[in-house]
Amino acid sequence: MLSPQQKKLRQHAKEIFWAGVAAVDPAAAVQRALQRDGDLLTVADEVLDLRDFRRVLVLGAGKASVAMAAGVEACLGEMIDDGLVVTNCRDNATLSRNCGIRVLEAGHPIPDLRGEHAAKQILQMAAASQHDDLIICLISGGGSALLPLPAGDLKLAEEQLVTNLLLSHGVTILEVNTVRKHLSRIKGGQLARAAHPARLVTLILSDVIGDPVDIIASGPTVPDPSTFADAERILVLYGIWQKLPKSVQEYITEGCNGYIPDTPKPDDPVFERSHYSIVGCNADALSACEHYARSLGYHCMVLTNRVQGEARDIGRFYAALLHNVVNSEQPIRTPACILAGGETTVTVRNPGGKGGRNQELALSAALDIDGLDNCVLLSAGTDGLDGPTEAAGAFADGWTVARARMHGMRFMSSFLRDNDSNAFFERLGDLFVTGPTGTNVMDLHIMLVGE
């Protein structure tokens, strides 16, 4: 049973999380980025005259693509001639049947045939565009998996295998997408290459640390500074190279040797009529979390929006931080709210375990704050999904371990060892389940300490 104070802290953590998510609502973010005055459309600092364009097309991919498309629809309405967006969940937003934008669903995080079919359609629509067309491209997290289109003679099964290997070896998202770009016909600026010379505007909801636009969804419409050699180095570094199919090894080797053209670089003329704008990111969500926490009476500290590394290691660091606040009111006095954001990784040690990076982080922290009173940690994904589970994340507090013992769990560290955090928190009822939120700006880590 939770004490009244524990219930209060959990409720506050939930409210703070939702305040952050609301601040990066994709439709609202797109409407802020697109300002229309009659026939004039302002995107960031650029003004476009809609009368100059024969057609307006909307293309996109990602967990937030449908909601982003709803924002474009609210701005341009029936001026949209055609469109296609790919998402992993249809029910996170709705579009008018008259707006011309179709929605397709595909697999995530492992790409599937539906995604390959959708990627082919998007590439064909871009390639069929002309100089006097305006293409608005909507990019958000998850877009890389949702647009699988293997390069050369590679097959989808090989791309799926590579994705599985990357996700199970603790590879950072920057490194994962560097490899993906060089095994694809659409990623790494190649969608922009197909769309040239149409006018191309890309609106991006960032789910990557530091908001590097070439990494978000593998940057299909922006220049790619990485090379085949970078992809090869990553695969060798993590011990993946020898596990790859021979066809993938040969393709990358041919690219390294210059036999296959690399992805378009920043000076490529395909980007002459293209520009992009980031409409939402983790820093925006953290700022809203901080504002809401202060309204609840907490003293606040935003640690960083660049958290990365092994989830279990970050969990232990957060536990140490909570001990400091509880025992010495350092580095912030109580009632305290410490916030951080980013995206950790998990090195899978037991393929039979079930969990996600946020649940693993919370479990690691729970083991180290056993007996620590008057505190709670909530680690959750802003998209509402944490790995291949139904949860967004989990709660941990000073009595998590004690409650686990009451439920007959005797060797709590084994759940962490076996990457089985979901089973642990499910038995306690401590999972944080939100359903798809319709947005995606990485994870929020919320630590509260009462007075």
Tell me the CATH number of domain 25-149+184-226+263-280, given options 3.40.50.720, 3.40.50.10180, 3.50.50.60, 3.40.47.10: 3.40.50.10180
CA 148/CA 183 separation, integer angstroms = 9
Angle between helix 246-256 and 156-167 (nearest 10): 90
Amino acid at 435: G
Beta carbons within 10 angstroms of residue 230's beta carbon: 17
Residue 303 tokens read as 């640690």
Q: What is the pLDDT along the chain (451 residues), one digit of tens a residue?
A: 788 999 999 999 999 999 999 999 999 999 999 999 999 999 978 999 999 999 999 999 999 999 999 999 999 998 999 999 999 875 556 677 667 899 999 998 889 999 999 999 999 999 999 999 999 999 999 999 999 999 999 999 999 999 999 988 878 889 999 999 999 999 999 999 999 999 999 999 999 999 999 999 999 999 999 999 999 999 999 999 999 999 999 999 999 999 999 999 999 999 999 999 999 999 999 999 999 999 999 999 999 999 999 999 999 999 999 999 999 999 999 999 999 999 998 888 888 899 999 999 999 999 999 999 999 999 999 999 998 899 999 999 999 999 999 998 888 899 999 999 999 999 999 999 999 898 989 999 999 999 8
Write down the domain spans for the chain.
4-19+283-449, 25-149+184-226+263-280
Q: Does domain 4-19+283-449 have CATH number 3.40.1480.10?
A: yes
Q: Which two tokens stand for residue 213?
A: 């636009």
SS3 of residue 238 by DSSP: coil
pLDDT at 168: 83
The residues that bridge with 56 in the sheet, in sequence order, are 134
Confidence at residue 226, expressed as pLDDT on a 0 to 100 scale = 97
Question: Reduced to 3 states, what is the DSSP secondary structure of residue 335?
Answer: coil
Could you tell me whether strands 443-449 and 336-342 are parallel, antiparallel, or unpaired per DSSP bridges? antiparallel
φ, ψ of residue 139 to 5 degrees: the values are: -120, 130
